Structure formats: C-alpha cells, structure tokens
Amino acid sequence: MNSLQLISSKKELLFVFIFVLLIFLFNIIHEYFKYKDFTQEELLNGDFQIVNIYDKKDYYVLKLKNENVSFFTSINKELSIKKLEYINIAIITSKVNFISYLKGFYAKAIYYDILPNKDSFKKNLFKKINEEHQDIRLKELFNALFLAVPISKEYREIYTNFGISHLIAISGFHLAILSSLVYWLIYFPYSYIHQRYFPYRNKKFDILVFTIFTLLFYLILTDLVPSLLRAFVMFFIGIYFLRSNIKILNFQTLFITLFVIIALYPKYLFSISLWFSIIGVFYIFLYLQYFKNMPKIFSLFLFNFWIFFVFNPIVHFFFFNTSYEQLLSPFITLIFTIFYPFELFLHFIGYGSFLDEYILQFLLYKMSIYEVSTPLYFFILYVLTSLYAIFNKSAFIYLNILLIIFNLYLYF
C-alpha cells in the first residue's frame, strides 16, 4: 500500500500556512509583551542561571537565562562561579531592542551576587558526571554529550578543528541512539506484561508512546535545546504519520517541523543550532532521494563522507577553522555510534573514567589550523542549487560538482 502525502493540494497547503502563521503571530506578540515587561524598568533585578562561562583575562563573560530570556553580561573574577549555579543580578535594559531580546543580547551588570545552591535533578547529574572525571576537558565533554551543557569556547574549538562539533551538540543523531536504547530496554519486560494482561493492544505502539514520554522528559531536562527539539518534533510527527500511513521521510515533514518550531518558539528563528540541524536533515533526505538504490554496505560508508563534504560549504560560511584532520570526521562519526551508548552505560554504572586516558590523548592532539571561508556568492549559489535539487536531478549533479570544487579549494 502506497503512503499518503500530508499535503496533497494547494488548498491544504494554504490552510497549513495560515494556521502556522496564526500560531507564529500569537507567539511573537506574546514574546513582545514579555519584552515590554522586561524593559519596563531601566534597571532590572532578577535571578538567572549560569549557562556558560567565558574566561577572559580580567573578567568573566557569563551567559545567563531564565524561563523568559537569555543574555550575556560580564563580571569580575572576585566570585567563584560554576555552570548551572544561580546568580542574582541587576542589569541595564534601556539599550535592548526587541530583536536583540529574541536573539540574546549583552547587558551591563550593575550588581550581582551568587545565590545559595539550588538542587535539581539536572544539577545532581551534572555533579555526578564531574565526579567521574579529573580533567576539565572531559567534564565539559560529557556534560555536553549527556546534558547539553555548553562547552567553554577554548575547548569547543578542539571539536571544531576536528570537524566533529555535530557530535558534541545533542541532536537527532543522539536522539536516535537514545530512542533505540529506551525502546529495547522496555521491549522485553513489557512483552511479558503485554502477553499476560492485555495482548489485544498494539505492543509496538505502546512502547513507542513510552519512548516519546521518556524523550520528552530528556528534552525538558536539556532546556529545549533547538537541535534536539527539532529531532523530537520530527520523531513525534513521524510516529503520527506512520500511524496514519503518511509518508515520513520527505521534505514536507522537514519543513513542517521547521515551521512548527519557529511558530511555537519565535526566538529559535535566530538559532544557528536549529538551522544547522535542519540543513543536516535536509541533506540526509537529499542523499536518500538520489542514493536509495545503492547497495546498503557501500551506502553506509558513502553516507558519512557525502554528508561531511556536502555540509562543508555551509559550515565554512560561519566557521572558518580548517585542518586536514577534519577529513577524519566521517570515520570518527562511525566510531561515535558505538562510543556514545558505551559511554552512557559506563557513566550509568559509575565507570565513566574508563576511557579517559585515551580520550584525553585525542583532545590534546596538536594540529595545524588555517582559515578558509565560503564566499557569499558561492554560498548563495550553493543553497539555491541544493533547494532546486529536490525537484531536479541535474541540479543534484551540479550540487555534487560544486561540493567537489569547494572541498578541493578547502583542503588543497
């Protein structure tokens, strides 16, 4: 039986567009009222959580957030501060405009004081991970991998230089592994209960529902990281489509996911994490569209390389660091599919430091770095060609020519 298309006519497309637009308008107005409340007083005092700490020569730059807003400020080094702690701070809001409020802004601090520790499930996990490692690089790595706690700038460049930032930022790749683990952990005990008490129910669907709620809890635990939110929304929509016999792996699903997220959370319109996540899935769908008949073993090998090379012109428009070691990224990605669940298991049983010596050797590896940026004209041409490749095979061939030219320019 052939799968149905979610949107099969221009009338349905118009209806979906209007519906999503109304949601977006409602939420953008809601955000504007929150902005007006935020800037009502020129001097605002409030409690915020420390998301990240950027260590400068004479001061710290902090990324702070609460349930309404995220921003940057700076304080001197007289206080001992840690990530996920809370700070009471007074800032000047007079120069904050609405767009900056949505994007994240810098505000001058007038007064600040560290608040007493507030225990939470996430903070307890954060402490447990830190206790299992000695080196700060390893602490930051695994807190990023498991809890989406941002890595400090000086250590984040390690992963950028290796071309594996996508492995550190929690996204659909990690969600796929986690969902598989949850599904199979529940499958066997639930099979016994299902067979004994309610064999009339759809066992697989019940387990999927449980998996969704588990992933939702994890999404909330990570504070709705944009890339993970994209993956979760696609996972949820995918299950609904599967139940309704609607085609899942298509560009409609991806674009609907993007529009739904931005409609619900307008501030994510400015999230590069979300856009990179969407673009990554876009190229995965493009790969599946044109290479779906390739032998599976060869396709598995080609997939990681093609995704890496096709993404380079996009990445290097925003981040310029380049190294020959980045060519190892596809191999590291393959290894990571085993490394990630194995490390998750080791941390669960209290042996998270088991591979620390070898990971640290990898992180301390010195490489030669040079900078290459994607020219604006090439970036525009590349994006337009990528979009046209959805409908035209010749455009896809031209896209591959462009990616070969760029990667030769990048590394040779």
Residues 146, 81: Cα–Cα separation, whole Å: 22
Tell me how many domains the chain contains: 2
Is residue 152 a part of any domain in this protein?
no
Tell whether 386 and 303 lie within a shared domain.
Answer: yes
Identify the pLDDT of residue 244. 63
Q: 59-65 and 43-55: which strand pairing?
A: antiparallel
Tell whether 192 and 43 lie within a shared domain.
Answer: no
Mean pLDDT of successive 10-residue stretches along the chain, which has 412 residues: 59 84 94 91 89 86 89 85 89 89 90 83 92 94 93 87 88 86 89 84 86 91 87 81 65 86 91 91 92 82 91 94 93 91 92 94 92 96 96 95 96 88
Look up residue 347 and give its amino acid: H
From residue 127, alpha-carbon distances to 82, 206, 344 in Å are 11, 34, 15
Identify the pLDDT of residue 243. 67
Identify the pLDDT of residue 29. 95
Sheet holding 105-106, edge to edge: 105-106, 70-76, 59-65, 43-55, 86-92, 109-114
Is residue 380 a part of any domain in this protein?
yes
Q: At which of 80, 98, 114 does a domain end?
A: 114
Is residue 23 a part of any domain in this protein?
no
Tell whether 88 and 203 lie within a shared domain.
Answer: no
Rg from Cα positions in the chain? 23
pTM for the model stands at: 0.87
Checking 382-391 for CB contacts under 8 A at 24+ apart, the result is 382/313, 382/314, 382/406, 383/314, 386/282, 386/283, 386/286, 389/286, 390/251, 390/286, 390/289
Tell whether 110 and 170 lie within a shared domain.
Answer: no
Instruction: Give the domain range for residue 48.
Output: 39-114
Q: At which of 83, 114, 145 does a domain end?
A: 114
Is residue 129 a part of any domain in this protein?
no
Look up residue 234 and give its amino acid: M
Is residue 47 a part of any domain in this protein?
yes
What torsion do the CA atoms of 269, 376, 411, 383 make, to the nearest 10 degrees?
60
Tell whether 223 and 313 lie within a shared domain.
Answer: yes
Is residue 201 a part of any domain in this protein?
yes
CATH number of the CATH domain containing 100: 2.40.50.140
Tell whether 71 and 178 lie within a shared domain.
Answer: no
Tell whether 213 and 316 lie within a shared domain.
Answer: yes
Tell whether 187 and 91 lie within a shared domain.
Answer: no
Q: At which of 94, 114, 134 does a domain end?
A: 114
**Nearest by Cα to 87 from 62, 120, 70, 67:** 62
Tell whether 226 and 103 lie within a shared domain.
Answer: no
